[in-house]
Structure 1
């Protein structure tokens, strides 16, 4: 019997994913939610103009700095939030001193901020929709026996699923960014590609080191950000694939991934005193924070540390998936 190559298997897996219409569901979700977020951002801009009585962004930023400094004097504000506020104040002042609007109303800025906020929960949930049943659905539908009766090695079958999943991870990230830009541009305009954005902020406790800060064009910043978002989404995809191999029920697999992602979102706001939590992959998904200079969930975390943790988890998920899939009696 002739050996079956990986490429035809990838094509077959891609067709199966498209036939399930999960990717269409993802596109519809984006098509519904992005206009809502765009409208919300527009209302925020309008409320700022009403509140501060001006369209001058300099005065708006200065007032935000003043309000934040007043909050620092309140005994009701937790110390963790105070550290975050201090960092934000220093960064806003840095932008103000250099006459750069950090939230200029345009489609590129909206896309950049949307992708930064979507990296930990929104995009991982979109990826989970695609990847949570790649293997478990084969058991549910009874097609696993037909699939493995072909003259193909099991590792090739799983590799084809992983490659097809990687393709759809890329499509989800690209489609999210493209739709954010196209839809928000109807409201804010399609400019902002060459607007300067500062990166390289080094966070030391509640202080910011500006030694390595440099201005880059926003298109380059957005490209770097999309690379980090894709990496986080790929990690989630590998974890979803592993759960799909380990758990034969699609509903159970989706429940496990959903609980994991929500737990990570909650812990990112609560785990500063639990230092060991920094080794959980969920707390390291916010890679874009290192690009923008936001405070990490746990003090001491760096981009290199988070990349290492994610690499270890990803390698572990892939190895576990292939070992279980090739050794487990999947025909019963």
Structure 2
């Protein structure tokens, strides 16, 4: 199995396209950091702004026309800002961690680049006619398919690590590394502010985004086993990837829309306790994702196992 994975890695990294995608990802992260920093507001007067915000929210709490939901959010905001003032914790927005969290939105680029590779993993063998040479080896079709899938996931992990490290370094130079020890602040049900590890929170955000990446890449890999044309497989995978979010917005008006794949791929709203639709929970979304994941894996295996390579 290791030899098969090593062989698949050689196929990926010996192509100029792969290195172009990697370089493009680094360039996008750097440019995004610079663009975000262009609107940078110094944290030097953050205490003044925090005090003004607390005063404004306290006045709004006395307004009977403000809905209870917004009042609760204001109370939490007041508690957070007062805690920051008391402990001299500046806002994370204009810090190294704020920039790194913003870069999590660029995981869509990692997903896109991996989809390009995934769409070519199996279909490309048929396009170039190398599938026969691959199947005459003593390894079973199951091992061959598994090695291709694992190689795709390892490639995605490599891009994600490159993106994270690049973002951390770029934002460190832009905002300074002095905020490395800054905690992540949350308000519990009792209205008390709690300190947590910012690194754990960042990893949790990236980890939940990684689940979305794995699901879309698995779908693209399944599509690659269906078509013999790599260009068609890549094109269709990219189309579904971008159209999925639009379709989700259209389907969420119906109660059964929550069972749609792309309504559950982004799990980060659960970090803030704000699901996409009423009745959706983290456990529900994980169950739906597991169903689709197993469906994609079974379809990939059955199609590849039954595929006639003589044609």
**Normalising by structure 2, what TM-score?**
0.83
Residue 244 (1) aligns with residue 239 (2): no
Q: Give the aligned partner of residue 98 of structure 1.
A: 83
Does the CA-based 8 Å contact 1:132-1:241 persist in structure 2? Answer: yes
User: Matches of 1:20 and 1:83 in 2, distance apart?
Assistant: 58
Query: Considering only aligned residues, what root-mean-square deviation do their CA atoms show, in Å?
Result: 3.2
Question: Which structure would you say has the larger Rg?
Answer: 2
Q: Is the 8 A contact 1:244 1:250 kept in 2?
A: yes
Structure 1 SS opposite 2:5? helix
Q: Choose which of 243, 252, 271 in structure 2 pairs with 1:263.
A: 243
- The yes-or-no answer on 1:31 pairing with 2:31 is no
Q: Are 1:187 and 2:174 an aligned pair? A: yes
Matched, 1:138 2:125: yes
Q: 2:64 matched to which residue of 1?
A: none
5+ long unaligned stretches in structure 1: 1-5, 71-81, 202-208
2:12 maps to which residue?
A: 17
User: What is the correspondence of 1:81-92 to structure 2 with a 5 Å cutoff?
Assistant: 92=77
- Identify the residue that residue 102 of structure 2 maps to in structure 1: 113
What SS does the corresponding residue of 2:39 show, helix, strand or coil?
Answer: helix
2:26 touches 2:163 (CA, 8 Å); kept in 1? no
TM-score (norm. length: structure 1): 0.78
The answer as to whether partners of 2:185 and 2:193 remain within 8 angstroms in 1 is: yes
Distance 1:164 1:266, change over 3 A: same
2:110 maps to which residue? 123
**Equivalent of 2:287 in 308, 311, 315:** 308
Residue 331 of structure 1: CA displacement? 3.0
Q: C-alpha separation between the residues in 2 aligned to 1:91 and 1:267?
A: 34
Q: Give, in angstroms, the shift of residue 175 of structure 1.
A: 1.1
Deviation at 1:188, TM superposition (A): 1.0
Q: What displacement does 1:159 show? A: 0.7
Give the number of equivalent residue pairs. Answer: 300
Residue in 1 that maps onto 2:307? 328
Distance 1:96 1:270 in 2: 38
- Distance (whole Å) between structure 2 residues aligned to residue 56 and residue 313 of structure 1: 49
Q: Please name the residue that 2:63 is paired with.
A: none
Q: Give the superposition deviation at 1:184.
A: 1.9
Residue in 2 aligned with 1:150?
137
Give structure 2 stretches of 5+ with no counterpart: 61-66
Cα distance in 1 between the residues matched to 2:53 and 2:255: 32
Report the Cα offset of residue 161 of structure 1. Answer: 0.4
Residues 150-299 of structure 1: matches in 2 within 5 Å? 150-198=137-185, 214-267=194-247, 271-291=251-271, 293=272, 295-299=274-278
How far 1:142 sits from its partner (Å)?
0.6
